[in-house]
Amino acid sequence: MVVTARVMKRALEVKLNANGITSSQYTVLEILWKHNGLSLTDLGKLLHFDNPTITGIINRMARAKLIRRMRDRNDRRVIKVHLTQKGWDLQSILPPLARSVNKKAVENFNESEKEAILNLTKRLRENLTNHD
C-alpha cells in the first residue's frame, strides 16, 4: 500500500508541478477553498501536519502569492490563512488534474470495483486517523 500511495502521489505531483504546486500545497488549497481563513494551527491539525511542516508549506505558498497571513482581530496571537486571487484561480485548474489521476488509477476497474476501492480506502483512512 505504501508503494501504491507513493506512485499515486508522484503521478499527482507531475501534474501539479506543471502549475508550480506541490501535493502538500494542493492539500492546503483544497481545505482553504472550502474553509478560507482558518488559523494556521487549525489548518495543520486538519491536515495532520506538525507545526514546522505547515509553517514551511505556508511560507512557500505566501512567497508564491497563493495565500496571505493575517492576524486574528480578536486574538493577535492567532494567524489566519487567506487565499489570494491567485490561490482562488487555481480552484478551476487543479481539481480536474487530481481527478484525472484518480480516474487513471481505476481505469481498468468495473463500477463495483471502483465503489469497493473507494469504500476500502475510506476505511483505511479512518483506521489511521482514529487514534483511540
What's the pLDDT tens digit per position in 74-89? 888 889 999 999 999 9
Report domain extents, the chain. Answer: 1-19+93-132, 20-90
H runs (alpha helix) in 78-110: 85-89, 94-105
Model confidence at 131, pLDDT cuts 50, 70, 90, reads low
What's the pLDDT tens digit per position in 22-55? 999 999 999 999 999 999 999 999 998 998 999 9
Considering the segment(s) 20-90 as one domain, its CATH architecture is Orthogonal Bundle (1.10)
What's the pLDDT score for residue 76? 87
Whole-prediction pTM value?
0.87
Contact status, residue 37 vs residue 43, Cβ threshold 8 Å: no
CA dist 12 and 22 (Å) reads: 9
